[in-house]
Copies of this chain bind each other. A is one copy, B any other.
Amino acid sequence: MKKELHFEINEFRVRQAAVKKEMARRGIDILLLSEPPNQNYLTGYNAYSYYTPQMVIVALDREEPIWIGRFMDRVSATMTTFLAEENIRAYPDTYVQSTVLSAYDFMADIVKEVGGDKARIGVEMGGYYYSARAHAVLTRALPLAEFVDADLLVGWIRLVKSPAEVGIMREAGQLADVAMQRVIDTVEAGIRECDIAAAIYHQQVSGTAEFGGDYPCCPPDLCIGERSIAPHAAWTDEPLPDSTVVNLELSGCRHRYQVNLARTIVVGKPSPAFQDLSEIAVEALNVGLDAVLPGRTCSEVDSAFRQALARHGMEKESRIGYPTGIGFPPASGERTASIRKGDETVLQPGMVFHMMPGLWLDNVGITITQSFAVTDRGFEPLTKTPRKLFVK
């Protein structure tokens, strides 16, 4: 079976060392990683198998992590991770959606095997793939262990990308750009909303002549007309009217690294007020981007953006940016820093954010955004689609 690793093995070792250092600092002996992006980060594992219980164990005193999953996904673990076969463990199918057997008991046995029965064990309490029941079964099966919340322990390390990771994210950005260009070419009066969505998916995955894309973490947000103020609504089968506003957020995903991009496209002639609003949105976005500098905080970047908005008498409730990187459904962003008031995260080269200051006013909205990597001297845009209102 050919190995499909997208990084040098040494890069995985560096990641592991950073995680172990933080474990040691917190006094955690064993870390149970239930989040698919964290499993991918530490081992390379990638398959659409995380709808069944799956875990990566990092033990402070073991060299390699252990992957545990369903028997039929063992071959994907062999293929996509650097792990030795002895560190790939699989439970039989009888555990899958069984009312009597729990895969978490199977996992607890492996925790005991690596000396974890009385250990201090970190778990990802707020993760998407660590259910209340998973925690209940593990704590019952390991009654002498001490469980501590290690949610985002790996997440904060992932926040700063390596040069190799930023390289992959540049490709993800290209995928987002070609998908957006496809939409700009496609959108016109009479086309059905579902056909726009279909074109986006096609281009996201088909990609460029040089490389294709992965499945995205989430569907495109395609918010049209009256529904442009419903940011996460599903698309319909309705044809576009002669005059409407399309607010679209899409992504490019390369080896599970995700870069997001949103634009507003007007079919017909935008009103002068809407055109003005778009110019304010772009101006504030550019001011926000120009405020990006290593050593500044997320809050300071947010403040620069808000001051630019305030000059036009406007304000915005929600945060204006989130980090992206390795992404698995259902989340498009990482769950650590936010570009918003009060977030004192200090920017460092290698951090990647999507600055997405959607402006929603009554019944219209504008979303013109920019994904970027923090560099030594400012920011590097990861997509090249012009920051402007598109009119068709």
Q: Which residues of A contact B (CB under 8 A)?
A: 1-2, 4, 46-51, 71-73, 75-76, 79-80, 92-93, 96-97, 123, 125-136, 149, 151, 192-195, 197-199, 201-207, 211-215, 218-219, 221, 226-227, 229-237, 317-319, 322, 329-332, 335, 338, 360
Count identical subunits in the complex.
2
B residues less than 8 Å from A203 (CB atoms):
198
- A362 to B: closest C-beta gap in Å: 11
Known A76-B232, A318-B96; judge A198-B201 contact (CB<8 A).
yes
- Asked whether A51 lies within 8 Å of B135 as measured between CB atoms, the reply is no
- Output the nearest chain B residue to A201 by Cβ-Cβ distance: B201
Known: A194-B207, A231-B72. Is A1-B226 also a contact (CB below 8 A)? yes
- A2-B226, A132-B135, A338-B97 known; A48 and B232 CB under 8 Å? yes
Contact B135 A219 (CB under 8 A): no
Q: Is the CB of B319 within 8 A of A221?
A: no
B residues in contact with A129, CB < 8 Å:
128
B128 pairs with A133, CB closer than 8 A: no
Which residues in B have their C-beta under 8 angstroms from that of A1?
Answer: 226
> Please, which residues of chain B bring their CB within 8 A of the CB of A201?
198, 201-202, 204-205
Chain B's nearest CB lies how many Å from the CB of A221?
7
Q: Does A79 lie within 8 Å of B47, measured CB to CB?
A: no
Excluding A198-B212, A215-B219, 4 further A-B contacts by CB distance (< 8 Å) are A75-B230, A96-B319, A135-B135, A198-B206
Q: Which residues of B contact A207 (CB under 8 A)?
A: 194, 198, 237
Q: In the complex, which of the residues B133, B202, B231, B335 contacts A73, with contact meaning CB atoms closer than 8 Å?
A: B231
Closest 6 CB pairs of A and B: A194-B212, A198-B206, A132-B135, A201-B201, A215-B219, A93-B318
A135: nearest chain-B partner, CB-CB: B132
Query: Which one, B92, B128, B206, contacts A128 given CB within 8 A?
Result: B128
A234–B202 touching, CB < 8 Å:
no
**Quick check: A73 and B232 within 8 Å, CB to CB?**
yes
| B contact residues around A317 at 8 Å (CB) | 71, 92-93
Q: Which of A80, A133, A149 has the most CB of B within 10 A?
A: A133
- The minimal Cβ–Cβ distance linking A170 to chain B, given in whole angstroms, is 16
User: Do B131 and A130 touch across chains, with their CB atoms under 8 A apart?
Assistant: yes
**How many angstroms from the CA of A207 to the CA of B192 in the assembled complex?**
11
Q: List 29 A-B contacts (CB under 8 A).
A: A2-B226, A47-B230, A48-B221, A48-B232, A48-B234, A50-B330, A51-B128, A51-B330, A73-B231, A75-B229, A79-B233, A93-B317, A96-B318, A97-B338, A125-B136, A126-B131, A127-B131, A131-B131, A135-B135, A192-B212, A194-B211, A194-B213, A195-B206, A195-B212, A197-B215, A198-B205, A201-B201, A201-B205, A207-B237
Q: Which of B97, B134, B212, B318 touches A132 (beta carbons < 8 Å)? A: B134
CB distance from A357 to the nearest CB of B (A): 13
The docked-state distance in angstroms from the alpha carbon of A204 to that of B194 is 10
Residues of B within 8 A of A198 (CB): 201-207, 212
Q: Given the complex, which residues of B lie within 8 Å of A130, measured CB to CB?
A: 131-132
Provide the bound-state CA to CA distance between A123 and B132, in Å: 9
Q: Flag if B332 contacts A51 (CB, 8 Å).
A: yes
Residues A212 and B237 in contact, CB atoms below 8 Å apart: yes
Residues of B within 8 A of A96 (CB): 318-319, 338
| A323 → chain B closest CB, angstroms | 10
Q: Could you say which residues of chain B place their CB within 8 Å of the CB of A50?
A: 330
